[in-house]
A = this chain, B = another copy of it.
Amino acid sequence: MANIGGIMHQLTGTAGALYEAIRDLPIVSPHGHCEPAWFAQNEAFPDPATLLVVPDHYVFRMLYSQGVPLEALGVPEAGRGADPREVFRLFAQHWHLFLGTPSRFWISYVLTQTLGVEAPLSAETADAVYDQIAERLAEPAFRPRALFDRFGIEVLATTDGALDDLAHHRVVAEGDWAGRVIPTFRPDPVLDPRHEGFDSNVDAIGQLTGEDVGSFTGYLAALRARRAFFKALGATATDHAIEVIETVWLDDPEALYQKLRQGSATEAEARAFYGHMLIEMAQMSVEDGLVMQLHGGSRRNTNVDVFQRFGRDKGADIPIAVDWVRGLEPLLGRVGNAPGFRLILFTLDETTYARELAPMAGHWPCLRIGPPWWFHDSAAGIARYFDQVVETAGYWNLAGFNDDTRAFLSIPARHDLWRRGVALHLSEQVTRGVFDLNDARDLAPLLAVDLARDAYRLRP
């Protein structure tokens, strides 16, 4: 196996042995942002830039931070029409900016392991590398389903709006390809009145389900119906995002619902409504067994100018400090002890690992701590995570790994980085005498795949 950005040589000794034992286990991907259409239609991926640069906010944010205009990188909308080869050249020319970042590991892995590119990326090799990738992408072995099989993916969950018809999922499920691609119910635009299209989304969910969304009860029924629809197509989980952690149980949600539908609610009331709906969702999870995910603390679209010209997810989502303890108290107070309820928490505020999440997950039966998320899904981020959660939460209150990516080709790279991190962590525990090698051998596959299967109720 080739040296990936130099990273192979470290895993010797105990770490190397632990890594070898889990390196080739199946990939369980319970949370991510791949397009279901890729697997339904199985078309060739377009050019290298459109595959590797344009959609990867880790990549273009870094180039933007060093003065490269987003237009020049082909980022839509304003950048639409940029020449993919020029985009790729710009990327190659700035490749040094990624030294020390996980993007460099992921992309190096994709280039060398998945695409078989051997030349080191640079301004000089940009065109040759571009051509080589373009050739590969035209081959049948590089179509989505073939890659999915080659990657050894056991199950891949996408993330889908509550109004989605899941047509692509149905195609995959009903076809003869054996790949397991399942949806995840992400209803925030129909739960949170601060979303632009909230009102029309509520109308739409009423029409879709035939429920009368004129009343709060009908609205809840419509949500229940959509959850059942997702579950029937294989979903095992829901997903929610929240900036400032706040849940609240309203005495009279019906009244506020009417006010919101009439457009006369305040910002604070809108926030409270979403806080209430998170508890309703938790209660529905108790009923239907869908695992609830909560991604907290990302402040979205902080660069208004970039947002207006290029839209969402353009690298200007920045973490803020959060308070899981007081924020979740109303939710946990209602359903935290309910048998069968499961809630997976994702934080961007690493100070909450040891202070809040580990103590909470070490007590509440429903809680699992999600893996290091986003900026923290990195070698040092993984090390800090283990250092700060394990002593209080143990291993069985963790949710294993998520790649959380929209970069399909990077999935094996991301799981590989995690598995290396697991092997390193466990070998250090053995060295420190926290437990012995036999324990480490048992824990390695648990962390690599079994906890994720278990946390997301994905066991085949």
Contact = CB atoms under 8 A, between A and B. Distances in A.
Interface of A: 5-10, 61-62, 64-67, 96-102, 104-105, 299, 302-306, 315-321, 323, 325-326, 329, 332-333, 336-337, 339, 348-351, 354-356, 358-365, 367, 375-376, 378-381, 384, 387-388, 390-397, 429-436, 439, 443
A433 B359 contact: no
A225 B8 CA distance: 58
B356 A66 contact: no
A310 to B, nearest CB: 12
Contact of A354 (B66, B105, B306, B350): B350
Contact of A318 (B62, B105, B363, B379): B363
16 contacts: A5-B434, A8-B433, A10-B432, A61-B362, A61-B363, A62-B394, A64-B365, A67-B365, A97-B396, A99-B395, A100-B429, A105-B434, A305-B336, A318-B356, A378-B391, A384-B387
A246 to B, nearest CB: 15
A103 to B, nearest CB: 9
A363 B66 CA distance: 8
A391 B375 contact: yes
B320 A320 contact: no
A316 B337 CA distance: 12
- Which 10 residue pairs of A and B lie closest in terms of their CB atoms, listed nearest first? A7-B433, A100-B390, A378-B391, A6-B433, A6-B436, A10-B433, A375-B392, A319-B355, A315-B363, A61-B363
A25 B274 CA distance: 57
B355 A321 contact: yes
A64 B5 CA distance: 44
Q: Is the interface of A mostly helix, strand, loop or mixed?
A: helix
Contacts of A376: 354
A364 to B, nearest CB: 6
A286 to B, nearest CB: 14
Contacts of A392: 101, 375, 378
Contacts of A443: 99
Q: Assembly of this chain: how many copies? A: 3
A95 B55 CA distance: 46
A100 B348 CA distance: 23
B355 A433 contact: no
Given A6-B435, A61-B363, A64-B365, A325 B302 contact: yes
B354 A375 contact: yes
Contacts of A388: 380
A8 B433 CA distance: 7
Contacts of A101: 390-392, 394
A380 B353 CA distance: 13
Contacts of A396: 66, 96-97
A5 B433 contact: yes
A435 B8 CA distance: 11
A424 to B, nearest CB: 9
Contact of A333 (B5, B304, B317, B339): B304
